[in-house]
Structure 1
Amino acid sequence: MANNEQLKMLKELTDARSIPGDEKEAREVMKKWITPYADKVYNDHLGSLIAEKTGDENGPKIMVAGHLDEVGFMVTRIDDKGFVYFQTVGGWWNQVMLAQRVTVLTKKGDVTGIIGSKPPHILSAEARKKPVEIKDMFIDIGATSKEEAAEFGVKPGDSVVPYFEFTPLKNEKLLLAKAWDNRIGCAIAIEVLRRLDGEKHPNRVYGVATAQEEVGLRGAKTSAHTIEPDIGFGVDVGIAGDTPGVSAKEADSKIGDGPQIVLYDASMVSHKGLRDLVIETADKHNIPYQYTSMPGGGTDSGSIHVTASGVPTLSITIATRYIHTHAAILHQDDFEHAAQLIVEVIKQLDKDTVEQITFA
């Protein structure tokens, strides 16, 4: 894929607005880009997209899953003055939310708003030292009453998404966008199928974009149940530790230094046999990689690996700065190397190899 076409894909994926439970926009973009490389594209009943590509119809089933949803908000009520109150959907840190522009997605169209709170000028000195709690925030859409907000089309249950446009930085390898968590995983699933187009591979590959990961790895459960894979890869973002104030003990990955091999997280212990194969493959092909562990987070692998009688699964992640905010930064080379690594591993995953690594 030419670089400008790749950037177009990444822009369309990240600009799409899709919070958990309302993934249609991102799913349509995913469908557009992955369909040319798939034999069959379909959805599970929760809204995950599954793109199937057959190399050997009797070979093992390999699932490569990113998630469609991004952290966002949902309208819960509108007060008499037209201010909108909301519920976070997915994990937010209150310090990154205030004064940020958002878009309310209504049946009548987009409504722009900004997250507000009581101004610091009228707070006590003690109160000013504390971060504003999420429960004390609201969204100002410029309405003067509940009735006017309703005229705008805003109602409880509407999705609210951060507003941000995909932007390559001055160093063009560094890409700034909202929703890298986890449209980059979706992009990797597309790129893996693209690179396998016309290639022989001894298996059936499923490029999957799951729903509702940010609220409990839910679409990974339903899509893995649908596919019944023999091997699983969860592709997601990971923590970059290359910004000021972060010690190597806290996080030592650097953007641009290769995909992260997740040894352990709160949702799973990585499968040793699969992990060993991936590392051997990376070493053989001189593909850079980093190790990471995330005792406080999880990926879709957490659901995939406990499907049916169990699935050998590994998370491969992209070190990313400022996740779960309005905009994050990652390195384009990490995207390329993650796709290359997964493709080289898939080419080896015939029936015998899968059997060997399952019980390694």
Structure 2
Amino acid sequence: MFLEELCNASGPVSHEDEVRNLIKEEIKTYVDEITVDRMGNIIAHKKGNGKKVMIDAHMDEVAFIITAINEDGTMKFEPMGGINSKVIPSKVVLIGKNRIPGVIGLKPIHLQSGEERKNSITYDKCCLDIGSKSKEETKKYVKLGDYAVFDTEYSEFGKGLVKAKALDDRAGCAVLIEVLKGKYDCDLYAAFNVMEEIGDRGAYVSAFQIQPDIGIAIEGTICADMPGIPGHLRATEVGKGPAISIMDRTSIFNEKVTNAIIETAESNAIPYQRRRAIAGGNDAGAIHTSGNGAKVATISVPCRYIHSSVSVASLSDFKNTVKLLEAYLLSLK
């Protein structure tokens, strides 16, 4: 399925070209117009006579940026987006457009002092290793400002599950693509935005251009359905349907729009769940504060282990998110 191509593509913050090209080619027969703005957002328009509706997903993924090259040939790096330093040691990455393989290194536990073992891992204690023996050798392959993405291939496992990097938010991009194949009365804009992971920057620009009445953000969202996590801390659970948000760090979602989405799910027997957390944020925070503002809601695909080298999601949740968004758009007469 196309979700696999999207997840395997490289699209770090501000370097979404590969993902953008895949999406443009895939949607060109389903929409009336495609534009790419100066930020790099794709805005696809399916013309209609009803309400102006913006459906949103972001193309970028969390990644790393090279900030220095050490004398021994290893590199210093920093996160592009929210990557907890605890999850980075020993991860394999691909650097730059040439996909130079590298490994994130950390002093082995055998050589760490008792105090070091107690302390949290920090970026300054790690290095990025491409097997080079000197600064001069590394500079033949890597330059300052190059990006690095996790080297994780999409695959299916278990019963109807997938594991991949960048399910946040390639899952949302794939949902939008499927939805664009349908026909609706509303005046529909699909925005595939850039730079969400560093503050919804692309969405501010696309929303200002579109000026929607309603904005629906489609996200891969946090999930913690694992042993040792009490029920009230399980924001979402894999396999229980798309998650409909109440609020988050940047938005309080419009009650009428949210209730209409819930009613649509119930009347069409589409499983859903409420997102039981207010942590994080997404492009809806930019959409509802741009221009004249818009009524916003968020529908999410639950993803375990988000913002790490590999996330896990359910194909049934993905498919039901498509069904729910299609049914809601069809209800807007």
2:47 alignment counterpart: 54
Cα offsets for 1:13-64 (capped at 9, x unmatched): 00011111111111111112222211111112111111111133xx221111
Report percent identity of matched pairs: 35
Residue 102 (1) aligns with residue 93 (2): yes
2:10 & 2:284 partners in 1: Cα distance?
A: 24
The structure 1 residue matched to 2:295, chosen from 312, 320, 324, is 312
The structure 1 residue matched to 2:149, chosen from 153, 161, 182, is 161
Contact 1:266–1:294 under 8 Å retained in 2: no
2:45 match: secondary structure: strand
After TM superposition, give the deviation of residue 252 of structure 1 in Å. 4.8
1:119 alignment counterpart: 108
Count the aligned residue pairs.
Answer: 333
After TM superposition, give the deviation of residue 148 of structure 1 in Å. 0.7
Residue 256 (1) aligns with residue 239 (2): yes
2:221 alignment counterpart: 238
- Aligned amino acid, residue 202 of structure 1: D
1:238 match: secondary structure: strand
The structure 1 residue matched to 2:15, chosen from 17, 22, 29, is 22
Contact 1:240–1:321 under 8 Å retained in 2: yes
The structure 2 residue matched to 1:141, chosen from 102, 108, 130, is 130
1:49 & 1:218 partners in 2: Cα distance?
A: 13
Question: Structure 1 regions of 5+ residues with no counterpart?
Answer: 1-6, 351-360
The structure 2 residue matched to 1:214, chosen from 168, 191, 197, is 197
User: Which TM-score applies when normalising by structure 1?
Assistant: 0.90
1:298 match: secondary structure: coil
User: Which TM-score applies when normalising by structure 2?
Assistant: 0.97
2:180 alignment counterpart: 193
Cα offsets for 1:131-150 (capped at 9, x unmatched): 32112111001111111111
Cα offsets for 1:218-265 (capped at 9, x unmatched): 111111111111110000012223211111111252211110000010
- Aligned amino acid, residue 155 of structure 2: T
Question: Structure 2 regions of 5+ residues with no counterpart?
Answer: none
- Aligned amino acid, residue 154 of structure 2: F
After TM superposition, give the deviation of residue 292 of structure 1 in Å. 1.1
Residue 268 (1) aligns with residue 261 (2): no
Of the structure 1 ranges 143-152 and 326-335, higher mean CA displacement relative to structure 2 is found in 143-152
- Aligned amino acid, residue 119 of structure 1: P
- Aligned amino acid, residue 123 of structure 1: Q
1:268 match: secondary structure: coil
1:323 match: secondary structure: coil
After TM superposition, give the deviation of residue 126 of structure 1 in Å. 2.4
After TM superposition, give the deviation of residue 11 of structure 1 in Å. 0.9
2:120 alignment counterpart: 131
The structure 2 residue matched to 1:287, chosen from 270, 274, 278, is 270
